[in-house]
Amino acid sequence: MSSSFVPLTAAPTNPPDPSKHVNYSVGMVLGVDDLTQEFTYLSSRDRWLARDLLGYGTVCGLKVSIEADAKGPRVMVTSGAALSPSGQLICVRPAQCAYLNDWLNANPAQLGAAIGSPPGTQIKLYLTLCYRDCLTDSVPIAGEPCRTEDELMAPSRVTDDFQLDLRITPPQQKQEEGLREFVEWLRLVEISDGSGPFLTLEQFEEMVRTGQEAHVLASPPVKGVFYKLQSPPQQGKIHTADAYEFLRAAFRIWVTEIRPLFHPTCEAKAGCCGSVVEAGPVPDEGLLLAELDVTVVSGVVAKPEDVIVDERRRPFLIHLGLLQEMLLCGPHSGGGSGTGVAGPQGPVGPAGPAGKDGKDGAPGKDGAPGPAGAPGANFVVAAGIVTAGTVAASTVTSLFGGLTATPLAGNAFVWTLKFTGYDPKAQYVVKGTPLINATAATLHTFEVLQGSTEIPAGTGVPVKVGAIDGKTPAIGFMVEISLYR
């Protein structure tokens, strides 16, 4: 069974306790209540795991579009699956539709005076999806005398079902909004190995907690309210070497202090020893699919172009297979036969080969780049761009690894390269490209010096960059350093 935008409600029941399951002993007689209790316990735990560990949102399909036929514009929802805010799996099949003019005519009380407003009035509708179940497959049951035939039948199955609705008020998705703002706030905190000022762990933890103050004033949180999004860049940044510890602290505070602000279990504000201080709000089971901006002329939607579908606030879930491929072969991994890119948590090994017709490490027409290798012994440790000048005037843009470059006093051709974790006993491969003016007529080279008497051993990697005539130093160079063991 299905519900194509039809408001149906199930008969109210007294639900069993989801925290209890049947403890059977030999000789115990089990009845309907026991079977219902056991099912409730197992089903509730499944929903609990899905809700708290995965989240909620569209999983697959459920594309929203606007079409029209002889009856006028209609909202179309394709087949698909979703996870509701309570953790219920919802399957929509087959595709569903609702004629907008029929809905407008059937719901004048919800719309109020908006429909009778001057031509061109815009109203906003919210397309939502909910889980519901239906009792089916009636079978005969034992009865008493004088009962009708209908009273001698009872449903033997409960079928998973769904309900699509058009609302004039948005569904409450406080956790979704809070999660997005939390991540947006974290992205504004700069992680760098350049110059300070750098935050201490205690300062950073206090900054993460300040968002709760705004949440008290606005429930549910709205964009720009739950977190003070402008504060992190003005108060300092995180050093690259400390990123792991700081991110762990941020996620710990999210789990223990921030997420409970809008978690249905924690919102009840249970007191000590099970006493309830304040009852929590009833969770909204409506899952937002789209916001519809509808232009109504004389109470009618004339054409599909009068409806704008906005899905930007729609919650959705990415399955683990896609995340796995993104981690292994995503945009941050090396392509072709080049060297893998080292991330902030550690290096990544060499990437796999390119496709059959790949050239110079690029993917071929009939083959994609191979996946990045597992962390190994050979990886990039530093990279950057250097512009020439004196010790005071030269600049280094470290792209990775905290690269520094110091020109040799009295010799504009020679530089000493160093980086985080430099080991004078290690074996490095240095790749560099001179930077020259477009008018330069002399060939320039990038050379690694061995046994230089001008630079003491163990102070860094000495390189020489300049014209082959020995008269003109380069205006700078780009360099990448790899470690081989």
Q: Dump pLDDT digits (tens) for 270-307.
A: 556 656 666 666 778 899 999 999 988 878 888 899 89
Q: Report residue 69 as tokens.
A: 């036929």
Q: Of the candidates 359, 402, 410, 356, which has an alpha carbon nearest to the alpha carbon of residue 382?
A: 402
Q: Of the candidates 128, 254, 240, 245, which has an alpha carbon nearest to the alpha carbon of residue 181?
A: 254
List pLDDT tens digits, range 101-151.
999 888 887 776 556 555 567 889 999 999 998 898 888 887 666 677 677
CB-based burial of residue 289 (10 Å sphere; 0-12 exposed, 13-18 middle, 19+ buried)? Answer: buried
Q: Report residue 410 as tokens.
A: 């009295």
List, edge to edge, every strand of the sheet that includes 444-448: 404-408, 411-418, 461-467, 444-448
Is the per-residue pLDDT at 361 higher than 50?
no
Spatial distance between the Cα atoms of 279 and 277, rounded to a whole number of angstroms: 7
337-341 LR contacts (CB < 8 Å, sep 24+): 337/361, 339/378, 339/379, 339/380, 339/480, 339/482, 340/372, 340/373, 340/379, 340/380, 341/372, 341/380, 341/400
Residue type, 105: N
Name which residue leads in pLDDT, 77 or 347: 77
The proportion of the chain whose per-residue pLDDT surpasses 90, expressed as a percent, equals 21
Is the per-residue pLDDT at 74 higher than 90?
yes
Residue holding tokens 């599909």? 304
Q: What is the reported pLDDT for 1?
A: 53
Q: What is the reported pLDDT for 19?
A: 85
Are the beta carbons of 77 and 309 closer than 8 angstroms? no
pTM over 0.95: no
Q: What is the reported pLDDT for 11?
A: 46
List, edge to edge, every strand of the sheet that includes 427-435: 395-400, 379-387, 476-484, 427-435
